[in-house]
Amino acid sequence: MELGAPLVSVIIATYNRSESLFYAISSVLHSTFTNWELIVVGDACTDDSEAVVRSFEDPRIRFFNLKKNFGDQGGPNNEGFRLARGRYIAYLSHDDLWMPNHLETALNSIEVEKADFITTLGISVKKNGQNDIFGTLANGRFVLDIWIPASLWVLKREVLEEIGPWKHPRECFVAPSQDVLLRAWKAGKRICTIPKVSVIAFHASFRPGIYKTRESDEIKLYFERMQHEPDFLEKELLKVVCHQTLKDSELEIWVHLRRTIFNIMKRSAIKIGITPMELAYFLHYRKKGKFINLWRKKAGLPELK
Highest mean pLDDT among 135-149, 158-172, 231-245: 158-172
Q: Which fold has domain 8-248?
A: Spore Coat Polysaccharide Biosynthesis Protein SpsA; Chain A (3.90.550)
> What pLDDT is attached to residue 261?
45
Instruction: Report whether 88 contacts 157 (CB < 8 A).
Output: yes
Cα 189-190-191 angle, rounded to 5 deg = 105
Write down the pLDDT at residue 295.
Answer: 54
Tell me what pLDDT residue 162 has: 98
E strand segments, the chain = 8-14, 36-42, 61-65, 88-91, 96-98, 117-124, 132-134, 153-156, 191-201
Q: Which residues contact 247 (CB under 8 A, 6 or more apart)?
A: none
Q: Which amino acid is at 246?
A: L
Q: Work out the average pLDDT over 55-83.
A: 97
User: Judging by beta carbons within 10 Å of its beta carbon (0-12, 13-18, 19+), is residue 14 exposed, middle or buried?
Assistant: buried
- What percent of the chain shows pLDDT beyond 70? 76
What's residue 270's pLDDT?
53
Averaged over 269-285, what is the pLDDT? Answer: 58
According to the model, what pLDDT value does residue 137 have? 62
Stretch 46-70: mean pLDDT, rounded? 97
> pLDDT band at 250, cuts 50/70/90?
very low
Average pLDDT across the chain, whole number: 85
- Higher pLDDT: 51 or 264? It is 51
